[in-house]
Structure 1
Amino acid sequence: MRPVIPYVTAALLFGLGVYGVLRRRNAVLVLMAVELMLNAVNLILVTADTTVRAALPHGGQVFALFVIVLAAAEIGVGLAIVLQLYRLRATVAVDEVPLTERPEPAGRPEHARPESAERPEEAAR
């Protein structure tokens, strides 16, 4: 008989993580929701390793350890990006992240830019 409780718990954790990624606007909370989803995957891997006989002994635990290492790297890179975003925009709101243009540095007004920094389409007018 397979244990159902860890699988249901992992599904709930993963669903909560997906909800956090889709509904939260703070980048740090989005990263926490991604970590919650990764931990749900780890729970499934370890549970499957203990309940299913596989050709690779402790394969689920090895994969779970690999996911933990990847999660640590993801948090390091993600927090570095969030810190840089806060330095440039003075906010960590996901909605305010510019995806197409280069952001202006925080604290420097638009009219204080040097004339040589005009955009080509503005200079052509």
Structure 2
Amino acid sequence: MSAPGTPRREVVTGAPRAPRPAHGPARPARTHPADPAIGSPALRSLMRRQLRLGLGTFALLLALLGPLPLAFAALPDPATRPGSAAVVWAVLGVAVYPVLVLIGRWYVVRAERNERDSVRDTGDPAGRAGR
């Protein structure tokens, strides 16, 4: 049993409850009514365009931010010029983030445009994909 002076442990049990439903009704996945097949040419074309966009965005990111280590290596040694460490911290801590946000925003806008163009090209007169 329990040692004198220690409180007794109690286990509280109850009837199991049913899981709560998610907030709001479940929305169906978007499907395209004209081409529901997975291997359709329109879908493959969209996937190729999205891949090309992703690789292009990655190349842009590498072109803009990839040379930073070389630029930092060209700066004088922080032991001899303490201001060079502040430049590195300012670039990495402040200046890089707006560039990343702009590249991310550009990517999202282009990806959504690719999807809209794909829906329009498949002949959906309303311009929507099974919403």
Q: Same fold (TM over 0.5)?
A: no
More helix by share: 1
Decide which structure has the larger Cα Rg and report it: 2
TM-score by length of 2: 0.42
